[in-house]
A and B are shown apart, each in its own frame.
Chain A
Amino acid sequence: MATDSLDLLQGTLDVLVLRALSWGPMHGYAVARFINRGSDGTFKVLDGALYTSLHRMEERGWIESEWGNSETGKRAKFYRLTTVGRRAVRSETTNWNDYVAAVARVLAATPEPAR
Chain B
Amino acid sequence: MPYPHTTPAWRRYLRLIRSPIARDVDDELRFHFQSRIEELTALGAAPGDARRRAEEEFGDINQVRSDLMSIDHRVAAQRHRREDFSDTLADVRYAFRSLRRSPGLAAGVILLLALGIGANAAMFTFLDTVFLRMPAGVVDPGGIRRLWRYHQFSTEAQFWPGFSYAQYDAVRTALGDRARTALYTAPWKVKIGLGESSGEAQFVKAEAGFFALTGARAEIGRLYDSTEDRLDGPQRVAVVSHDYWQRALNGDRSAIGKPIVIAGSRYTVIGVMREPFVGVDLDAADIWIPLAFEAEGRRENGPWWKSPNINGFQILIRPAPTANDAQLEQRMTAVLRRPDFGWYSDTLSVARFGSIVRAAGPGKQEQEVQIGIRLAGVALIVLLIACANVVNLLLGRAVQRQREIAVRLALGISRSRLVRLLFAETSLLALAACGAALLVAYLAGNLLRRLLLPEVHWASSPLDGRVVGFALGVAVVAAIIAGLIPALQSARADVNDVLKSRSSGGGREGSRVRSTLLVSQAALSALLLCGAGLFVRSLSNVRHIDIGFDTQRIITATVSYDDHSRSSDSTFPARLGELASRISTIPGVRHVALSSARPMYSISWLTFFTETDSSRRGFSPTWTAVSSGYFDASGVRLLRGEDFPKTRGGPHAVVVNDAMAKLAWPGRPAIGACMRFGKRTEPCYRVIGVVENSRERSVIEDASPMYYLPLNDLPPEARGWTANYVMLSTDPRSAASVVGSVRGLIRQAFPGGIPSIVRLSDYLEPEYRPWRLGATLFSAFGLLALVVAVVGIYSTTSYSVQQRVQEFAVRIALGARLADVVQLVVAEGTRVVAIGVVLGVGLAIVAGKLVASLLYGISPSDPATALGVAAILFVAGIAAAMFPAWRAARVDPAATLKTD
**Chain A residues packing against B (C-beta within 8 Å):** 1, 25, 27-29, 32, 44, 46-49, 51-52, 55-56, 58-59, 66-70, 72, 74-78
Contact = CB atoms under 8 A, between A and B. Distances in A.
A48 B58 contact: yes
B28 A51 contact: yes
Contacts of B28: 28, 51, 76-77
B125 to A, nearest CB: 46
B78 interface: yes
A67 to B, nearest CB: 6
A68 B71 contact: no
A56 B27 contact: no
A51 B31 contact: no
Contact of B35 (A29, A49, A55): A29
Interface of B is mostly: helix
B131 to A, nearest CB: 52
Interface in B1-26: 1-3, 5, 24
A66 B2 CA distance: 7
B56 to A, nearest CB: 6
A28 B3 contact: no
A29 to B, nearest CB: 4
B64 A52 contact: yes
A74 B59 contact: no
A67 B5 CA distance: 8
Given A28-B32, A46-B58, A52-B64, 13 more contacts: A25-B2, A29-B35, A44-B57, A47-B58, A48-B58, A51-B32, A55-B75, A56-B71, A58-B75, A67-B27, A70-B31, A72-B38, A77-B27
A32 B32 contact: yes
Contacts of B74: 59
Contacts of A51: 28-29, 32, 64, 68
Interface in B39-59: 56-59
A109 B24 CA distance: 51
A69 B29 CA distance: 15
The number of chain B residues touching the other chain, given as a range, is 20 to 34
B71 A46 contact: no
25 contacts: A25-B1, A46-B58, A46-B59, A47-B58, A47-B59, A48-B58, A48-B60, A48-B64, A51-B29, A51-B68, A52-B68, A52-B71, A55-B67, A55-B71, A55-B75, A58-B75, A59-B71, A59-B75, A67-B2, A70-B31, A70-B35, A72-B35, A75-B27, A76-B28, A78-B2
Interface of B: 1-3, 5, 24, 27-29, 31-32, 34-36, 38, 56-61, 63-64, 67-68, 71-72, 74-75, 78
Contacts of B24: 67, 77
A48 B61 contact: yes
Query: Top 5 nearest A-B pairs by Cβ distance?
Result: A68-B2, A48-B59, A48-B64, A46-B59, A55-B71
A77 B78 CA distance: 19
A49 B32 CA distance: 13
Nearest to B75: A59
A38 to B, nearest CB: 16
A64 to B, nearest CB: 10
A12 to B, nearest CB: 17
Given A52-B68, A66-B2, A75 B61 contact: no
B805 to A, nearest CB: 54
Contacts of B60: 48
A58 to B, nearest CB: 6
Contacts of A25: 1-2
A46 B29 contact: no
B3 A77 contact: no
Contact of B59 (A49, A58, A68, A76): A49
Contacts of A76: 28, 31
Contacts of A27: 31
Contacts of B31: 27-29, 70, 74-77
Contacts of A72: 35, 38
Contacts of B56: 1
Contacts of A70: 31, 35
B64 A59 contact: no
Nearest to B27: A75
B311 to A, nearest CB: 75
Contacts of A1: 56-57
A25 B1 CA distance: 7
A91 B61 CA distance: 32
Contacts of B68: 51-52, 55
B837 to A, nearest CB: 64
A48 B63 contact: yes
Nearest to A45: B57
Contact of A75 (B5, B29, B38, B75): B5
Contacts of A52: 64, 67-68, 71
A28 B57 CA distance: 14
B2 A69 contact: yes
Contacts of B57: 1, 44, 46-47
A50 B668 CA distance: 119
A14 B32 CA distance: 19
Contacts of B1: 25, 68
Given A29-B35, A46-B58, A75-B31, A68 B5 contact: yes
A96 B25 CA distance: 30
Contacts of A32: 32
Contacts of B38: 72
Nearest to B32: A29
Nearest to A33: B39
A81 B38 CA distance: 28
A23 B27 CA distance: 24
Nearest to B31: A76
A69 B75 contact: no
B32 A47 contact: yes
A68 B3 CA distance: 5
Contact of A55 (B34, B63, B72): B72
Contacts of B63: 48
A52 B78 CA distance: 18
Nearest to A61: B78
Nearest to B6: A75
Given A29-B31, A51-B29, A59 B3 contact: no
A113 B509 CA distance: 99
Nearest to A32: B32
B20 to A, nearest CB: 11
B408 to A, nearest CB: 30
Contacts of A59: 71, 74-75, 78
A75 B3 CA distance: 10
A11 to B, nearest CB: 17
Contacts of B34: 74
A52 B58 CA distance: 11
A64 B74 CA distance: 14
Nearest to B72: A55
